[in-house]
Amino acid sequence: MNDPRKVFSKVSVIPDWVRGHFIQWQIDPFFKGLRPYDFSLEISETGDFSEIAFAKRNLGEVFFAVDDSHSKQSWAPNYTYRVSLTTKDNKVYHSFPVLFGSTRHEQRKYAMAAEIIRKEILLARFVGTAGWLLRRKSYGAQSAKTLRNIDPVSGVPIADTKQEDYGVGLDGGYFDPVPCVFYTESSSQDKQLDIEGMGVKENYTSIARVPGYPIIEVRDVICEAVDGYRYSVQSRNAKQFPGSNITLTQKVNLNLIPTTDSVYAIPIPVPF
């Protein structure tokens, strides 16, 4: 049997009783299955998945799924999620089952966590900024054009090319934009003359607060929906509800990306 720890490094569940519960995962960077990958989300009321209550198949190369069946509407411990990965050679890998629920004594704790998340989202919507998350790819296809941008010895991208890999080394560079909201807690701007005589160097950094979903990682890109500015995530600190794996809020350090960077060529939807 395949060891899930060698394939899935993390699987997180973020409760959302209206839009559907979000399940987000990460793949171990050392996993080298044959591409392309095809992910599926499986839901069972039994821990051994002997019976599948609901499934979303053939999701493609994505990093999250939404359980929009609205079947799970209580904290009763009768719902288990599992992510499945099928590689090009039809090998199937399963993540560890993630129990979504609680005992009777823990229901109050999880209800408090859900309420905190709801208030975090409301706060960001009313005092923050609407945006889009560009999740940097850690797996995906590599076309002949993309392979030309990668050092053949180290495997590190050596070129930043628009419409190809955007310096990531995988086709497209980033997953499709995911809507998000955030608000800036503090910011600083620094201007200095370049020591090599290249003019003025301007650096804009900020600390932003983001609700628990979508889960953000270092080197992701956050785009402002209206003004179009794009920021690189330099660091991330997440706060989880005590005794659970539910992420309540995230604090990220952002650097403004110069408008000459190729990442600005990635299209994002019109302001929502």
In which residue ranges of the chain is CATH 2.60.40.10 found? 4-101
In which residue ranges of the chain is CATH 2.40.10 found? 124-136+174-265
Q: How do residues 61-95 score in pLDDT, each as one tens digit?
A: 999 999 988 776 665 656 789 999 999 999 999 99
Q: What pTM does this model have?
A: 0.84
Q: Which residues pair with 43 in a beta bridge?
A: 54, 81
Say how far apart CA 140 and CA 159 lie, in whole Å.
18
Confidence of residue 130 (pLDDT cuts 50, 70, 90): very high
* Helices within the chain (DSSP H only): 107-127, 144-148
Q: What is the dotted CATH code of the domain comprising 124-136+174-265?
A: 2.40.10
| Least confident range of 97-111, 135-149, 219-233, 252-266 | 97-111
CATH class of 4-101: mainly beta
Q: Which residues pair with 98 in a beta bridge?
A: 81
pLDDT at 158 over 80: no
- Provide the b/e sequence for 51-76 (b: ≥16 CB within 10 Å): eebeebeebebbbbbebeeeebeebe
Grouping H, G, I as helix, E, B as strand and the rest as coil, residue 114 is helix
